[in-house]
Amino acid sequence: MMLIHSYRWEFCRPPNPGAGHLRGVAHLDGDITAILPQLNRVLRGHLYFPEPPSLTIKYQAKLITFYPRQIAINILTDETEAEQIIRWLRDIINDTWEKRQEIQPRFEVVQPSRMVEILKMLPRTNCGDCGYATCLILAVQINEGNASLSDCPHL
């Protein structure tokens, strides 16, 4: 039994004019909330939050976030790349669904205190002037030591 059969794409360009990449959101025909903890184990999730439910992973310098009925992917080269990634993820989601009884869920939640503190310092306009698609992505990069607050030209 498959959990995800189909999806519908929505693409947009980031607001910064120099961006040559796409953002994509795949709207799923099924709700994946129930297996996010197993996907957190299978995909070695980076950020897992039970409420509201979401899981973010890193894949090929991209952040991919799973929501109950959507998967958001940043820094896509084109729609062909998006299609390859979502097909791969659909197969993983359906395989995880089939094997969910055998996969130990991982409920570890990243301590949001540092992330929240960093995000509160940023303007939260998602302007992209720092080179990242959103202020949240910049906050993640700062939290991991890959960026600094000085990367935001509005601070």
User: CB-hemisphere CA count at 13 Å for 57?
Assistant: 16
The percentage of the chain sitting over the pLDDT mark of 70, rounded to a whole number, equals 97
Closest CA to 109 of 28, 31, 51: 51
Backbone φ/ψ region at 44: left (φ over 0), alpha (ψ -120 to 50), beta? left
- The 3-class SS string of 98-128 reads HCCCCCCCCCCCCCHHHHHHHHHHCCCCCCC
pLDDT at 79: 93
Delineate the domains of the chain, giving CATH numbers in brackets. 7-98 (3.30.310), 112-150 (1.10.15.40)
Q: Which helix (H) or strand (E) holds 136?
A: helix 135-143
**pLDDT per residue as tens digits for the range 107-131:** 876 555 587 889 989 999 999 899 9
pLDDT at 110: 55
Q: Can you state the angle between helices 135-143 and 112-121, rounded to 10 degrees?
A: 130
pLDDT at 111: 54
Encoded tokens for 42: 């299978």
The pTM (predicted TM-score) of the whole model is: 0.70
> At residue 31, does pLDDT exceed 60?
yes
